[in-house]
Amino acid sequence: MTLLTPLQELRSEAARQGMLVAVACALVAFLLIAWNERRKVIATRLAAREALQEANNELERKIAERTADLRASNERLKAQIRERRLAEDTLRRAQDELVQAGKLAAIGQMSTSIAHELNQPLAALRTLSGNTIRFIERGALDTASTNLKTINELVDRMGRITASLRAFARRGDDKGQASLRKAVDAALQVLNGRLENFDLTLHEHFEDVALRIDQTRLEQILVNLVGNALDAMQAQPLPELWLEGEIADGRYRLYVRDNGHGIGPEARKHLFEPFFTTKPGEHGLGLGLTLSASLAAAAGGSLSAEHPSSGGTAFILSLPLLDTPAPPEAEPI
C-alpha cells in the first residue's frame, strides 16, 4: 500500500532548513573572516609596537654611546686644560728663572761700570773727609760745613746707584704699574758709567705716562734697549738716541731709536731668539731682547724692531696704559 502525501510541505521545510544552514554557514564564515582580520590587525599592531620598541632601544643605545663619547671628550678636554695650565705654570716659572738669570748676568756684566761708578765718589769722600778734619782742627768751620754738604750729596748719589741696582736685581711681577719717566731715569742711571764715556745726544719726546707693568721690569727692558743702542753706536762719531712716545689704541708706544750700525738682514731674523748675539766674546749674552720681549708680552704688550732707511735701528716697546681696562682673567673651568 502506497501512501501518497503531498511533498509541498516537506520541500518548503527542507528549503527553510537549508536556508537556516546557509545563513549559519555564512555567519560562521563571516565570524571567521572577522576573527582573521582582527588577528591580522593585532599582529600588525604588535609588529609596529615591537618596531617602535626596537627603534627606541636603538635610540637609547645611540644616546648612551654619544653621552659616553661626550663624557670621554669632556674628560680629555679637562685633562688637556689641566696639562696646558701645568705647562703654562712651568713656562712661567722657567721664564721667571730666565729673567732672574738674565738680570744677574747683566749685573755681572755691569760690575766694572758699577765699581767705577762707586769708586769715584768713594775717592772723593776720602779726600773730602780728610780735608774736613783738617778744616775743623783749624777752625775753618764754614769750609768744613760746605765739605760735609758735598759728602752728603755724594753719599746720596751712591745710595741712589745701589738702590737702582737692587731694584733691577729684585724679582718683579706681571701686575703693577710704572711711571715711564721714572723708568727712563732709572735706566739712564744704571747705564751712567757707560754714558760718561759717550758724547751722546739724547732726544726725549715722550710723556710721563702710567703703564700697566711692574716698574722694575720696565726699567730692565729700557736698560737692555738703551744698552744695545750704546753698543751699536760705539763707532759712531756723533751718537744720537731718540726716545719718542705716542698713544695708539689704549697703548703707549715708545720708540727707542739710535743711529748705530743697524742690523743686517740675516741677524734681523734671529733678533728675538734666546742666546742670539753678534757681540764678541763675553760681551754678548743674547738674552736681552728675548727677556725684554717676554717681559713686555707678560704685561700684555709687545716689543718689535724697525730698520729705518736712514740707518740705525728702532725698537718699538708697546705697553698698555694704566687707565685702560685690564684684559679679563681666564674663566676657571
Q: Is the dihedral of CA 48, 49, 51, 52 positive or negative?
A: positive
- 143 vs 318, beta carbon nearer ligand ADP: 318
303 belongs to the binding site for ligand ADP (CB under 6 A): no
Residue 164 grid cell: 737702582
259 belongs to the binding site for ligand ADP (CB under 6 A): no
Stretch that binds ligand ADP, among 81-89, 135-143, 179-187, 279-287 (CB under 6 A): 279-287
- Grid cell 765699581 — which residue? 115
Stretch that binds ligand ADP, among 52-60, 203-211, 284-292, 318-326 (CB under 6 A): 284-292
Q: Which amino acid appears at position 26 of this protein?
A: A
Stretch that binds ligand ADP, among 15-23, 191-199, 258-266, 296-304 (CB under 6 A): 258-266
Contact 217, 326 (CB under 8 A): no
- Grid cell 572577522 — which residue? 34
Whole-number minimum distance, CB 164 to ligand ADP, in Å? 20
- 32 vs 267, beta carbon nearer ligand ADP: 267
Sheet harboring 251-258: ordered strands across?
201-205, 240-248, 251-258, 313-320, 302-306
- 287: CB partners within 8 A, 6+ apart: 98, 101, 102, 105, 274, 275
> Which of 184, 186, 213, 229 contacts ligand ADP by CB under 6 A?
229
Helix (H, G, I), strand (E, B) or coil at 255: strand
> Which of 102, 260, 301, 320 contacts ligand ADP by CB under 6 A?
260
> Which of 117, 214, 219, 258 contacts ligand ADP by CB under 6 A?
258
* Long-range contacts formed by 322-331: CB under 8 A, 24+ apart: 322/177, 322/209, 322/210, 322/211, 322/212, 323/210, 324/212, 324/250, 324/251, 326/212, 326/300, 327/300
Whole-number minimum distance, CB 261 to ligand ADP, in Å? 6
Contact 318, 302 (CB under 8 A): yes
> Which of 313, 317, 319, 320 contacts ligand ADP by CB under 6 A?
313
> Which of 176, 245, 286, 300 contacts ligand ADP by CB under 6 A?
286
Positions touching ligand ADP (CB under 6 A) are 224, 228-229, 232, 258, 260, 262-263, 267, 271, 276-279, 284-290, 313
